[in-house]
Amino acid sequence: MVESLRTDAPAARGGPVVVVTGASSGIGRGVAQALAARGADVVLAARTERTLTAVARECERLGGRVLVVPTDVSDEAAVQDLVSRAVGRFGHIDAWVNAAAVWSYGRFEDTPGPVFRQIVNTTLFGQVHAARAVLPQFRSQGHGVLVNVGSLYGRLSSPYVSPYVTAKWGLLGFSEVLRQELRDAPGIAVCSVLPGAVDTPIHRHAANYVGRRIRPLPPVTSPERVVAAVVRAIDRPRREIVVGRTQRVGIWAHRLVPGLYDRLSGPVVDAFVVRRAPVPAHDGTVFAPDPLPCAVDDGWRRHDHRLIGRALTVATAGLAALAVGVRAFGRRRHRR
């Protein structure tokens, strides 16, 4: 049972030991499941023990051994305790996946200062606290992989997400500095995984000060692709992994035509992200986790596939009607 795994007694070495923060939903939950299926010993960290217990049961059924450690990564002492608990249970840590993040939508001027600070505290300083806590362990054992789940928002930006962009730009620079400073420790790797919009509950959980319902910016990437990139980074560490071809185009556009990018980003976000349905201002899960069960994906790709299917149907019908009209017009001209 999961309860029997929540102990700090040392365990005999099994598969690799991986700590996953943000393991209650989205990418973190998917990574934990994928690692457990490969026989890894997984340490699950997030703010809600009840949700982590559900994830632990999933991982155990997949074949992994699990330790649940409820942790708010914005609390540095809690992250230090997470490392102690993981080493106390499994004896070492082979890899650490930083997937914890919170989000908000709203103009900078409309976003409350405490919300801005908490997003940065969780999404940037949570990763900083993890590095400070786990790097001494990596150095003492001579190896380790630190995977920071970043974002394309570490390379480009868009309206309404200023605290998240601030955190992700900072995270990318922080990761780069760590790689430079760890050149004396060739057994330790720092990897950045940069996805675009991913079909996870983070958008539904986001604080909202736009006044309208929000959806992720299409095209929405499947969380499975990001999970696969994270697992690949653990197996074969690389400096940086961008997930998705369309996302690479966005990076190049931002670099090559920054003025045009700035002019178009606002209208694109307003057209494809901000919906018509009104929503009162709220702080989402920035300060407190969602009490309801969470999943890896949030159904946006299924929704988009239906929209694309309807659009293709309409387009096909329109082309067919156009073809019929052209044919009829051609016959009339021929008769004349």
Find out whether 66 and 14 touch, Cβ atoms under 8 Å: no
The answer for residues whose C-beta is within 8 angstroms of residue 9's C-beta and 6 or more apart is: 88, 89
Place of tokens 């307003």: 270
DSSP string spanning 11-63? ----S-EEEEESTTSHHHHHHHHHHHHTT-EEEEE-S-HHHHHHHHHHHHHHT
CA distances in angstroms from 164 to 219, 261, 279, 285, listed in the order given: 19, 19, 20, 14
Report d(CA 4, CA 292) in Å as an integer. 24
Report d(CA 29, CA 212) in Å as an integer. 28
Other C-beta atoms closer than 10 Å to the C-beta of 62 total 18
Q: Which of 153, 160, 164, 209 is catalytic?
A: 164
Active site residue 160: no
Report d(CA 47, CA 21) in Å as an integer. 9
Which stretches of 80-203 are assigned E, i.e. beta strand? 95-98, 104-105, 144-149, 188-195
Active site residues: 164
